[in-house]
Amino acid sequence: MEMEVSKILGYCNSRRLAVVPQGGNTGLVGGSVPVFDEVIINVGSMNKIIAFDKVQKEAAKLVEMFQLMQVVCAFSVMALFMGMYLAVLTNGDVLDMVGTLRKDNTGYDLKHLFIGSEGSLGIVTKVSILTPPKLSSVNIAFLACEDYPSCQKLLSEAKRKLGEVLSAFEFLDSHAMDLVLNHLEGVRNPLPSSAHNFYVLIETTGSDESYDREKLEAFLLRSMEAGLIADGVLAQDINQASSFWQIREGIPEALMRAGPVYKYDLSIPVEKMYNLVEEMRVRLGQSANVVGYGHLGDGNLHLNISAPRYDDTILAQIEPYVYEWTSKHRGSISAEHGLGLMKANKIFYSKSHETVQLMASIKKLLDPNGILNPYKVLPHSLCSYS
Ligand code: S2G
Ligand code: ZN
């Protein structure tokens, strides 16, 4: 594959033809969408397992996921160690950095330049991935909290008391829960006794089922006694566990079904996170439904504003306020979704001019003609396009 990509890129570079690399096309900020007449290079067929080390046979399962070219472990995070074989730079050079070494401190770790660069520095055609052994003991609890400070305190307690087995800590507010119940078939609230303001999903992953379960049960009991949770349920089997995840994972689809939505993927200090949701509700009043959910354990808020229509008046109430607020709290205006086309010009809300200038210099070094994924990631003003 890399030799084909090498020839195509070398040809496009010599004729200044812009190229958009594509993988699983799961992006949410237009990173893999052509803007004008770019040539599309799709590496989606890069799904051959070339080899895997017997020691890491679990990798096979994850390598299958690679068919999407996007290994985004959206919720539970696997400690992925990625070595990489960068097929091509724009001049057709092939960088061979493939390897499964756990330690290699010989020079700069260039793979991290390319991971997350949204195809703007080079095109990956081969990767090596190492995954930790799949652990057998997974426990999931779905909890209700009456206020955001309780969610925050619950997270602190979970980190302290569940520590090494804590594998996910997700939250959603009642607006998110209502959307899921109203727009998704067959999904029900596992804690229907009364309306709660917040819900938390906690997942633990370990190697000793009875030990892990007792640990989580004791944690839930203590949290209930301390008044941090108003109600809760521990999944009794895999079906109930997946029904809990179905609520959390169903939020984006429920938002899409509800109609036009303005999406913001923000990293914000946990103690401040929900202030932004509340401030946006004040700013928008009845004109839109402000929904807050996300990966609380990662300090990642998915602020989604569901509106009757896309409307400049509503947009003016949201931007630049959301970006300025995030910047003031030294957050990131893109926690996991990247910048793509839609947020390339917003980068200065989270990165200094000097930092962005250095990024542009690296881009210029690796893609002097600016043919790789133009108009994406970096501000258009900093990238000279041929
Ligand atoms: C999530 C999914 C993408 C979206 O639910 O964790 O990252 O639509 C999001 O916001
Ligand atoms: Zn997310």
Nearby residues of 199 by Cβ (< 8 Å), 6 or more positions away: 142, 143, 144, 145, 171, 172, 173, 174, 177, 191, 247
Task: Give residue 166 CA to ligand 2 midpoint distance, Å.
Answer: 17
Ligand 1 pocket, CB under 6 A:
28, 74, 251-252, 263, 302, 336
Nearby residues of 107 by Cβ (< 8 Å), 6 or more positions away: none
pLDDT on residue 269: 98
Of ligand 1's listed atoms, the one at least distance from the Cα of 248 is 5
pLDDT on residue 86: 59
Task: Give residue 112 CA to ligand 2 midpoint distance, Å.
Answer: 21
Of ligand 1's listed atoms, the one at least distance from the Cα of 263 is 10
The pLDDT tens digits of the residues spanning 223-281 come to 999 999 999 999 999 999 999 999 999 999 999 999 999 999 999 999 999 999 999 99
Contact 249, 187 (CB under 8 A): no
At residue 2 the predicted structure's pLDDT band, cuts being 50, 70 and 90, is: confident
At residue 85 the predicted structure's pLDDT band, cuts being 50, 70 and 90, is: low
Residue 73 has pLDDT above 90, yes or no: no
CA–CA separation, 266 vs 337, rounded Å? 9
Structural domains for the chain? 2-132+355-382 (3.30.465.10), 137-251 (3.30.70.2190), 259-337 (3.30.70.2740)
pLDDT on residue 335: 98
Best mutation site among 28, 72, 170, 247 for ligand 1 pocket (most ligand atoms within 8 Å of CB): 28
Nearby residues of 358 by Cβ (< 8 Å), 6 or more positions away: none
pLDDT on residue 103: 87
Ligand at minimal distance from the CA of 256 is 1
CA–CA separation, 386 vs 377, rounded Å? 17
- The CA R_g of the chain, rounded to the nearest whole Å, is 22
CA–CA separation, 307 vs 65, rounded Å? 34
Q: For atom 2 of ligand 1, which residue has the closest CA? A: 252
pLDDT on residue 78: 30
At residue 84 the predicted structure's pLDDT band, cuts being 50, 70 and 90, is: low
Of ligand 1's listed atoms, the one at least distance from the Cα of 249 is 5
The residue-averaged pLDDT of 87-108 equals: 87
- Which of 15, 6, 11, 30 lies closest to 346, judged by CA? 30
Model's pTM, two decimal places? Answer: 0.91
Task: Give residue 146 CA to ligand 1 midpoint distance, Å.
Answer: 24
Contact 148, 274 (CB under 8 A): yes
Percent of the chain, pLDDT > 90? Answer: 76
pLDDT on residue 72: 30
pLDDT on residue 27: 92
The residue-averaged pLDDT of 207-211 equals: 93
Best mutation site among 172, 184, 251, 342 for ligand 1 pocket (most ligand atoms within 8 Å of CB): 251
The pLDDT tens digits of the residues spanning 8-64 come to 999 999 999 999 999 888 899 999 999 999 999 998 887 787 776 665 554 455 545
Mean pLDDT of the chain: 90
The pLDDT tens digits of the residues spanning 246-256 come to 999 999 999 99
Task: Give residue 74 CA to ligand 2 midpoint distance, Å.
Answer: 6
The residue-averaged pLDDT of 353-381 equals: 96
The pLDDT tens digits of the residues spanning 298-340 come to 999 999 999 999 999 999 999 999 999 999 999 999 999 999 9
ipTM exceeding the 0.90 mark: yes
HEC assignment per residue over 149-169: HHHHHHHHHHHHHCHHHEEEE
Contact 138, 205 (CB under 8 A): yes
The residue-averaged pLDDT of 142-168 equals: 97
Task: Give residue 302 CA to ligand 1 midpoint distance, Å.
Answer: 7
At residue 383 the predicted structure's pLDDT band, cuts being 50, 70 and 90, is: confident
pLDDT on residue 66: 45
Contact 125, 375 (CB under 8 A): no
- Which of 196, 262, 21, 7 lies closest to 120, judged by CA? 21
Q: For atom 3 of ligand 1, which residue has the closest CA? A: 252
Helix (H, G, I), strand (E, B) or coil at 200: strand
Q: For atom 10 of ligand 1, which residue has the closest CA? A: 252
pLDDT on residue 211: 93
For 306, the enclosing helix (H) or strand (E) is strand 300-306
Task: Give residue 321 CA to ligand 1 midpoint distance, Å.
Answer: 21
pLDDT on residue 83: 56
pLDDT on residue 61: 54
Contact 2, 123 (CB under 8 A): no
Q: At what angle are helices 148-161 and 209-225 packed, to 10 degrees?
A: 140
Output 112 or 385, whichever has higher pLDDT. Answer: 112
CA–CA separation, 386 vs 162, rounded Å? 54
Of ligand 1's listed atoms, the one at least distance from the Cα of 255 is 8
Best mutation site among 199, 265, 298, 301 for ligand 1 pocket (most ligand atoms within 8 Å of CB): 265
Contact 121, 114 (CB under 8 A): yes
Q: For atom 7 of ligand 1, which residue has the closest CA? A: 74
